[in-house]
Each structure stands twice: as structure tokens, then as C-alpha cells.
Structure 1
């Protein structure tokens, strides 16, 4: 079976993690994923090639609409794909759905990975295009209820037209290890003190400015606390500058994009995630798999909360002081037994070894 994946970018984030987690499993079953990229070298490019997939570079649709259409039509005609799986952060661009349908692809999937989208133009395009999605897509899929309702509407969700595909992970890989913790802290230059962590792209929705404000308040309460930020993005220079203005740069580790995220999680003591909006964030699943206490915004779907005692949802309207106090309340909390954590994630359908079979069933159905 051949599947064409559309919607991955050049920066490893949630969509990219979803696709690759499933591809690593399905490639073992003889399923081939090919990929379309508008941004040059795609995230996980070399791994995709090693698994037997191809990456097609196409013009950016915003800069060369007709070049994009021509390239996509050629890929679809020559590839003879069984499935086209379109991963969507909004309905701003539904062109891949239409082109796949017109090419006669047997199954076209529209997959919602988000629950909001910034920018007036994108909102206008969302409103215009949403009613057209079901015209071109054979399957409506979403990472969770909130993402499904947002892109496809309440009626479609309540009538059972939306298939939920879990943001599943290799749970075993993310389980806590004391050995990994010591090695990661040494590599990152962290002491034995309390470490607050965050994993996410430096962009508006992740709310790094608020993370900095909360950490600034924490520093006034507990000066020996450190902040570990994993990721890159367009807002990174701004956050670095603000950290310097606040004279916090010595207390913050900017770790960049990492291939050892699981080790970085082991180095943390609490996970801070005050996002403005999300679909169902992979990083929170990974953090909970690691046994980390998490302090998150109430804008995030409760579907991701696996243990009410270790995950606290706070309103973004709450003060920085309230957020700081909640983060520090987990000081000394420690981890639970990793195998207990693993059972919880498997039961909640977040283990990739089980969930990959469900996606394969959807492709075959």
C-alpha cells in the first residue's frame, strides 16, 4: 500500500511527530509513505528515505499557485496512491484535498491537528473552506474531540463522522530513567536543583512570553530554580532578548531542537505548558509518559490529561504569581513507578504499537 502524506514542514513539531511515529511502525508492515514538501528539506528527511519513502519538493502554493498545482497533479498521476492523508492545522489550504479527489485517489483523509489558528486572513479562509472539506475528503479525522469539532463542526462530530486518531508515542522510549536524568543534566549544564521545562516550537501558540513572565516570578520566590527550553522557531530571538532584559539568561538553558527529547524530559522536575491553543499536544503525552507533573493552560483539551493528581489546568487569566506557586508546589514530587505510567498510557490509547494497527485498519477500510 502507498500513502501520500501532505502537511509536514521542515521543523519537527506535532504533525511531524504524528506522521513519523506511525510510519516507523507501519513501514514494518510493508506500508510506504511518500511526502510532499513546500519548504525544501522536510523534517526527518533522511529517516524517511531510510524507511523506503520518497520526498517530493513542490513550489510554495502561496508564492506559485499554478506551479504547485502542476507539481501535485504530476505526483498524484505517477504515484497511483491508495491513500492521500492531508494533515491540516487549519482549512486555509484545502487544495490538496481537491486535487487528490480529482485525481481519483481511492481514499482521501482530512486530518485536523489543531483547535485554533492565528491571523485574520487564515480565519477568513477557514470560514470559507470548511464547508467544502467533506466534498473532497472521504474520511474526517482528528487528534481529539476539540480539534475535530473546531475544523469539521459540532454536527459532524456528534453524528460520528469524525474518526479520532491518537497522538500516540513509543511509550517505552519516554519512561523515566535516573541514569538518563544524570547524563542529560550533565550534558545540559544543569545542577541538582529544581528544573522547570518546556518543549515546543517558539511560536505564538506556545506562549513563551508567558513562560518567561511566570519564571521571572518563580525566580523571586526561589532563585536557584532553572528553566530548560527545548525547541526553535521564529520567536526565539525575541525570547532570548527578553531573557537578557530580565537578567535571567544565566538561569535559562536554550537547548534547541533535540533528537534526545526523552532525555531532556528526564532532566526536568515539572513541565510548564501555558499554550494559547492546541489540538492534542504530543509533548504533553510525552511529558506524562516520563512521569512529570505538568502545569498547563485550560485552553488545552482535557483529553490529554491522564492523571488529575499530576496535571494541573490553570486559566491564563490567573496571575503569574498563582502560576509560579502551582509550579513550585510540585517541588519534591518525584516520579511514580514507570510501569504504572506505561499501563495508564496504553489504556488511554497513546501507545503507538497498538494505535498503528488502528490507522492501518482505517487505510484498508
Structure 2
């Protein structure tokens, strides 16, 4: 074990619930563990059938009580988080908490006098942390407590600016963009192998070699533009009858998406296979990545698609523009426009040279600018600097 900081990561949502913030915290924890740092991840036990303790990708995960009762479940989770952090205070040096919500409030109230508490604000816009603090019950109180954090990290300039506008001290805000582990570039053989594996996993995912497929990875949430994507897919299928769409993830919109799929008679063209902590087979098996979100901070799902060298269609929003240079790394389309989505998807399916050029450019950009080693270095540097500020000066 290295002599570097011992880290506790806190995220209320974690595997098997998978979204961008959850995958980022998993990558961060795994990266720290691989470098020899002591790291523990605390999360909520949202389902009583889940074991209280597991080992995930080389690090321990502890699930704290969170009964499925509104208000009481949140209160019980906050109490359990406070108790754990205080009871194990000698076992860690710094706390890093995802989202500026109840977990952050509990961590700061529990141990900020003895340990640095750093917060991670992953989202922006109407579904982001600052918007939640403006509208949620007790949100204003939680914001006052969160402003006392030793540091707050933002993955994008948009999130950073929202934090400044919300009154967070600028000198404690840190812009730390996301990154991704860069692996060997996929080959045509990888596509066939991935399709075979997915077809064995779920019959609804079985495709012929000549079929074309698009994939979305992320939460099934109203802010992700998925109903517009379903509408667009009706047009795509008219132009390419062998085109299939996979919506990989879980979330509150699932039932409405299934109704929309049935209403448009797309049951055999659109699949919702569920949430997966490792989506590489889906990316390897697909021909296009579609990301129609209304608002993002810095979307990890886009980075994963870029690393996989998939041609991308995404909405023209600030978070996506951080990663996708229009018509160079992918195609950007207006928000809430099924017609623009369908045109862009069909264009990539019908112009393979364009699709290949965009995918290669996106992959090269990830290799040059968004490697995960840089993310680990930046976080460890921040942890060390915050710890140094906390240590008493000795002559």
C-alpha cells in the first residue's frame, strides 16, 4: 500500500445502478486502488437483497442502510453515513463525495472539523446540483453547508460557472475534466465477437452481420431526450429497415419508453437491455452512438464512445461541445429535434467514409487530451494540497 492519502469515496447511487457519475466514481476508485492507495466506497443499500459489503474492481464497497421509505430512507442513510465516517475516522485521510446533496451535507457535518471533505458536482442545468439546491426541500440549507467544503470539483466550465453563481467560494473551486482509460482500438473482428456475446446474453440483442445498430448509454431519464430518439427511430427504420437501437441503462423513464416503443410498433427494432457496469461490448457491437441529452456537465458516456472509435450523433449543448468538435469528431444536432436526429443517424449509416473519419478524429482526441491517468494525477494533487492546508505549520 502506498504512503499517499487514504480516500473514502461517497456516492449514494452505485452499481448495479449505473450512470455517468457512478461510472466515474468507479473508475476513480479502481484507479486509486491500482496505484496502491487505500480506498473505500460508501453507498446506499437501496435494495435489501443487495449484500452489505462487496469487493468491486479491487476496492471495498460498503452499502449503508437506506430503507425504501420516502424521507425516512434519506434520514436513515444520512445517519448511517455520519456514524460510519466518525467511527472509522482513523482509517482515512480525505472524503470525496459525489453530488451536492444529502451525502455532502452529512459528510461535512460529520467530520469536516477533523478531515478534509471535497465535493464533486457532476451535473449542470435543470438536472444539475445547483438547480437541485435551489428547488429541493432543505436545498438552501444543504447549499449553505456545502459551501463549507474544503474544495469542490467541476468537470466542465458550465458547472464551474454555476457554482460561482450559487455563491461557492471561487478559490475552493477546481476544474477537473473527466477522462477515460484508453484501450487498444477496436477491430472489425471485435464487432462480430461483441455481437455474438450480446446475442448469447439476451436474444433480443441478436443481430445479423449486415444489420446496423445504434446505441445510447446512460440513465433512462426525462432529461436525456430519449422519447425524441424513439420518435426519430421510426424515421430511421423507414430509411434503413435493418437498423436497430439499444438504450442501455436504467431509470424512471423506462416504463414510458416501453409504451412509446409499442405505440410506434418498434418492439423488434428498439431494445432496453438494462444497466451494465461494463458497456464495452455494446460499444464494440454498434455502428453509431447517439446521445440526445438536453443538458450535461461533461458526459462520460461520450468519452466512452469516442474511445471506442464510434461515430457519434449528439445534441448541440455546452457539455457535449466540450468533447465533440462539430463535423470533426461527430455530428451535433439541435435539442428536442427528432427530424435532425434521424437525418444525422441515417447520414452516418449511409456515408461510411464520413463515419470513419469522425470516429478516428474523436478517438485521437481522447488519446491526446482525456486519458484517465491525467484525471488520477489531478485528483491526487488536489487531495494532497487540501491535506497540506489542513496540517499545522511546524518550524
Q: TM-score normalized by structure 2?
A: 0.80
Task: Find out whether 1:171 has 2:185 as its counterpart.
Answer: no
Task: Find out whether 1:138 has 2:138 as its counterpart.
Answer: no
Change (3 A) 1:116 1:307: closer
Task: Find out whether 1:344 has 2:365 as its counterpart.
Answer: yes
Change (3 A) 1:310 1:75: same
Task: Find out whether 1:360 has 2:380 as its counterpart.
Answer: yes
Partner SS, residue 268 of structure 2:
helix
**1:297-351 Cα distance to aligned partner (Å, 9 max, x none):** 1234121225742322222254x22321122111224435998755421322x21
Aligned counterparts of 2:172 and 2:193: Cα–Cα separation in 1 = 47
Unaligned runs of 5+ in 2: 200-204, 386-395
Q: How many residues align?
A: 358
Deviates more, 1:238-247 or 1:258-267: 258-267
Superposition deviation, residue 358 in structure 1: 1.8
Aligned counterparts of 1:87 and 1:45: Cα–Cα separation in 2 = 20
Q: Which residue of 2 aligns with 1:71?
A: 80
Aligned counterparts of 2:107 and 2:159: Cα–Cα separation in 1 = 18
Deviates more, 1:241-250 or 1:111-120: 111-120
Aligned counterparts of 1:299 and 1:277: Cα–Cα separation in 2 = 7
Aligned counterparts of 2:332 and 2:172: Cα–Cα separation in 1 = 29
Aligned counterparts of 1:108 and 1:40: Cα–Cα separation in 2 = 24
Q: Which residue of 2 aligns with 1:111?
A: 120
Change (3 A) 1:21 1:63: same
Change (3 A) 1:39 1:204: farther
Change (3 A) 1:200 1:72: closer
Superposition deviation, residue 98 in structure 1: 2.9
Q: Which residue of 2 aligns with 1:285?
A: 303
Query: Counterparts in 2 of 1:199-218, with a 5 A limit?
Result: 199-218=217-236
Q: Which residue of 2 aligns with 1:4?
A: 8
Change (3 A) 1:225 1:197: same
Change (3 A) 1:317 1:234: closer
Aligned counterparts of 1:196 and 1:206: Cα–Cα separation in 2 = 16
Partner SS, residue 85 of structure 1:
strand
Backbone CA RMSD of aligned residues: 3.1
Change (3 A) 1:243 1:54: closer
Q: Which residue of 1 aligns with 2:330?
A: 311
